[in-house]
């Protein structure tokens, strides 16, 4: 289960506090030490942990929690609020173009869940807005990638534009966009290539696609199971592409929580959606406050 260890450790820290009734400064220090270790063990970015603990401690002292009637509850509330803030405070909707189509470019490492997420998002828009999306297959390096996108397309009844593997991806996107305009599609998804790790050639290609397509949204798809690496990957993509949002996938797995808690704080980019399973309906809007509650258990 996601966040299992983190939830347990945070709850333990709070339970120890509750037992005390009255909380001394050294009790608070002990609690903050436990929270710090819990976050580090969950693979949360070191700087994020440091800032988090400092803020919670300062707020607890400032609120005169130590003199209060129910210090443990107050500290739980502060931790909850600060977790929410760390993850971005409020849900951030998909960017919309004021004229159709809204162009959404997907980026991410191979296996992160790009193709699956394109399908999930397209289906969500169809179901919720009666949208008429189209998907462009711009990953020419794995023949199976085009096939996979076509399978997703037929599953959710969304057309896929593809020109095989012999045409330059930028040209595929150019022709795909022209087709979408002709067909009056209101959303176009560009499914791009991924690699096992970030490399210059991939980044160059993505930058070229961006320059041509002027996407309204560049969604970076990140596998939540990869912890600190997820954060480094996000930073790498963002430096080159200036992404507009993140989709965190595989939150149904037993991720420790590091990616969910670090990405926003490190990159400044909002997590917009979370993938919570392999089915096309397993995509949810990311709500930082609900995620904080889930983490606290």
219 annotated among ligand-binding-site residues: no
x/- track of binding to ligand GDP for residues 155-194 (CB under 6 A): ---------------------------------------x
DSSP annotation of 251? T
- Taking CB under 6 A as the criterion, the residue among 275, 286, 291, 292 binding ligand GDP is 275
* 193 in a labelled binding site: yes
Distance in Å, CB of 237 to ligand GDP, minimum: 12
Q: How many residues bind ligand GDP (CB under 6 A)?
A: 19
Q: Does 114 bind ligand GDP (CB under 6 A)?
A: yes
Which string of DSSP letters, residue by residue, matches 154-200? HHHT--EE-BTBSS-HHHHHHHHHHHHHHHT-SEEEEEE---SS--H
Strand order in the sheet with 245-249: 160-161, 133-138, 187-192, 102-107, 217-223, 245-249, 271-275, 283-285
Residue 283, helix vs strand vs coil: strand
DSSP state for residue 21 in the 8-state scheme: S
**The one segment of 53-61, 169-177, 262-270, 273-281 that binds ligand GDP by CB under 6 A:** 273-281
Interface with ligand GDP, residue 249, by CB under 6 A: yes
Asked whether position 153 contacts ligand GDP by CB under 6 A, the answer is no
Taking CB atoms, the residue at the shortest distance from ligand GDP is 275
Applying CB under 6 A, which part among 19-27, 80-88, 103-111, 232-240 lies near ligand GDP? 103-111
Question: H or E stretch including 43?
Answer: none
Residue from 111, 159, 240, 290 touching ligand GDP (CB under 6 A): that is 111
Nearest alpha-carbon partner for 96 in 7, 171, 186, 181 = 186
3-state helix, strand, coil in the chain (%, to 5): 55, 15, 30
Q: On the CB side of 201, how many CA atoms lie within 13 Å of its CA? A: 7
Q: Which of 11, 253, 289, 290 forms a contact with ligand GDP (CB under 6 A)? A: 253
Stretch near ligand GDP under the rule CB under 6 A, chosen from 109-117, 153-161, 175-183, 196-204: 109-117
Q: How far apart are CA 45 and CA 256, in angstroms?
A: 12
Q: How far, in Å, CA of 171 to CA of 173, rounded? A: 5
Going by the annotation, the residues of the binding site for GTP are 108-115, 191-195, 249-252
Give me the residues that bind ligand GDP (CB under 6 A), please.
Answer: 108, 110-116, 194, 221, 249-250, 252-253, 275-278, 282
């Amino acid at each position: 289960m996601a966040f299992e260890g983190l939830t347990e450790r945070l709850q333990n820290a709070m339970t120890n506090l509750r037992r005390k009734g009255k909380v001394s400064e050294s009790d608070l220090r002990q609690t903050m030490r436990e929270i710090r270790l819990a976050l580090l063990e969950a693979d949360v970015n070191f700087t994020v942990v440091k800032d988090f603990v400092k803020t919670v401690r300062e707020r607890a002292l400032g609120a005169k929690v130590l003199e209060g009637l129910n210090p443990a509850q107050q500290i739980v509330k502060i931790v909850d609020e600060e977790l929410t803030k760390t993850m971005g405070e409020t849900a951030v909707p998909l960017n919309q173009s004021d004229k159709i189509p809204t162009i959404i470019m997907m980026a991410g490492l191979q296996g992160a869940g790009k193709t699956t997420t394109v399908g999930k998002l397209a289906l969500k828009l169809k179901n919720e807005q009666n949208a008429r999306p189209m998907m462009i297959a711009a990953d020419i390096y794995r023949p199976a990638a085009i096939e996979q996108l076509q399978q997703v397309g037929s599953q959710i009844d969304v057309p896929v534009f593809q020109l095989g593997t012999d045409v330059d991806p930028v040209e595929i996107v150019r022709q795909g966009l022209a087709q979408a305009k002709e067909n009056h599609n209101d959303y176009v998804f560009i499914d791009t290539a991924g690699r096992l790790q970030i490399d210059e050639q991939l980044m160059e290609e993505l930058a070229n696609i961006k320059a041509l397509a002027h996407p309204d949204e560049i969604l970076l798809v990140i596998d939540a199971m990869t912890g600190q690496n997820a954060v480094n990957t996000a930073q790498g993509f963002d430096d080159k592409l200036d992404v507009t949002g993140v989709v965190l996938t595989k939150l149904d797995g037993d991720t420790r929580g590091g990616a969910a808690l670090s990405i926003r704080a490190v990159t400044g980019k909002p997590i917009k959606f979370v993938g919570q399973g392999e089915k096309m309906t397993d995509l949810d809007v990311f709500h930082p406050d609900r995620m904080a509650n889930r983490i606290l258990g």
